[in-house]
């Protein structure tokens, strides 16, 4: 049996991490049976989620999970795409994961009102005397990570502008198609769906979310993906 280790649903999303959402969608696309375990963070081999246990073989990182599904199980998540479409999908995926993702992290962790609504609750189980110290440390670590990545060196308005450019690019490439490359989803949709759904998260009031909502095709794309891959969540929103 395949087991995927996740954080579990938070913020009205299938998972607060778009990387976990990507892995969930990839597994659903594969058609392989799998189970979810939301209590494995302490054993994550790279200190991050998601990771996967496939019959005792441990695979960490959503992109390497995809590689594993394709090489071990013979599943081509880009089946039917041209070489150019595969390249475009890869470029979109990396834009979401290496750029758009960090603008969303900034909006959740560095904006006090959003931090208090969301990430602060990751620490609710920490004993009360220690909680402020742990939260302060995690905030410092996140700020340091954002600075090192580069996004954290910009003014907030500039960070939001960068996120909007990413969303504009996704919207333009999506056009009026149900999914990125037509009627059926492919590998890049797993990543892009996770990122767009994250940007649209209703819990967080940000210019990034407002811009995503202004793109009717992005809102419809996220709704379509949720209905297809997470019908229970879609039903709860109806």
Residue 119 lies in a domain: yes
34 and 27 in contact (C-beta within 8 Å)? yes
**Domain final residue, candidates 15, 47, 72:** 72
Distance CA 99, CA 118 (A): 21
| Same domain? 7 vs 97 | no
Residues 178-188: tens digit of each pLDDT: 999 999 999 99
pLDDT at 33: 98
Average pLDDT of the residues of the chain:
97
Q: Distance (Å, rounded) from C-alpha 49 to C-alpha 62?
A: 8
Number of domains in the chain: 2
Residues 106 and 212 in one domain: yes
Neighbours of 110 (CB within 10 A): 17
Of 72, 107, 133, which residue constitutes the final position of a domain? 72
Q: Are residues 210 and 118 in the same domain?
A: yes
**pLDDT recorded at residue 237:** 81
228 in the same domain as 116: yes
Q: Residue 102 carries which DSSP code?
A: H
Instruction: Write down the pLDDT at residue 236.
Output: 87
Tokens of 157: 């308005």
At 154-175, the pLDDT tens digits run 999 999 999 999 999 999 999 9
Residues 141 and 209 in one domain: yes
Q: Indicate whether 148 and 100 sit together in one domain.
A: yes
Q: Is residue 176 part of a domain?
A: yes
- Residue 40's pLDDT is 82
Taking only the tens place, the pLDDT of each residue in 193-232 is 999 999 999 999 999 999 999 999 999 999 999 999 999 9
Residue 103 belongs to domain with CATH number: 1.20.1050.10
Distance CA 68, CA 66 (A): 5
Give the CATH number for residue 42: 3.40.30.10
Of 23, 41, 72, the residue that ends a domain is 72
Q: Is 13 helix (H, G, I), strand (E, B) or coil?
A: strand
At 106 the pLDDT is: 98
Residues whose CB falls within 8 Å of the CB of residue 192, separated by 6 or more in sequence, listed in order:
92, 93, 96, 170, 180
Return left, alpha or beta for 31; rule: phi > 0 is left, psi -120 to 50 is alpha, else beta.
left
Q: Which domain holds residue 212?
A: 83-237
Give the model confidence (pLDDT) of 75-117 as tens digits. Answer: 999 999 999 999 999 999 999 999 999 999 999 999 999 999 9
Mean predicted confidence (pLDDT) in 145-150? 98
Using alpha carbons only, what angle is made at residue 230 by residues 225 and 231, rounded to the nearest 5 degrees?
100
Q: What percent of the chain has pLDDT over 70?
A: 100
Same domain, 19 and 107: no
Whole-angstrom distance, CA of residue 135 vs CA of residue 34: 33
Q: What is the pLDDT of residue 14?
A: 97
Let me know whether 97 and 199 are in one domain: yes
Least confidently predicted of 21-25, 75-79, 122-126:
122-126
Task: Please check whether residue 77 lies inside any domain of the structure.
Answer: no
pLDDT band at 71 (very low <50, low <70, confident <90, very high): very high
């Amino acid at each position: 049996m395949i087991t995927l280790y996740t954080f579990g649903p938070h913020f009205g999303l299938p998972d607060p991490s778009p990387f976990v959402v990507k892995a969930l969608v990839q597994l659903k696309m594969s058609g392989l049976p799998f189970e979810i375990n939301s209590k494995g963070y302490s054993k994550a081999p790279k200190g991050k989620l998601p990771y996967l246990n496939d019959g005792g073989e441990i695979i960490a990182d959503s992109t390497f999970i995809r590689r594993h599904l394709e090489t071990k199980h013979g599943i081509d998540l880009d089946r039917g795409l041209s070489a150019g479409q595969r390249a475009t999908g890869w470029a979109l995926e990396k834009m979401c994961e290496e750029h758009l993702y960090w603008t969303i992290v900034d909006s959740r962790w560095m904006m006090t009102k959003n931090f208090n609504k969301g990430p602060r609750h990751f620490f609710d189980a920490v004993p009360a005397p220690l909680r402020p110290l742990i939260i302060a440390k995690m905030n410092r670590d996140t700020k340091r990570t954002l600075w090192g990545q580069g996004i954290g060196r910009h003014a907030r308005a500039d960070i939001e502008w960068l996120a909007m450019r990413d969303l504009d690019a996704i919207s333009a490439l999506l056009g009026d198609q149900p999914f990125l490359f037509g009627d059926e989803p492919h590998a890049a949709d797993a990543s892009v769906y996770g990122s767009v759904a994250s940007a649209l998260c209703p819990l967080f009031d940000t210019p990034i979310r407002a811009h995503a909502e202004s793109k009717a095709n992005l809102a419809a794309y996220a709704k379509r993906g949720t209905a297809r891959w997470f019908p229970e969540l879609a039903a709860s929103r109806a």
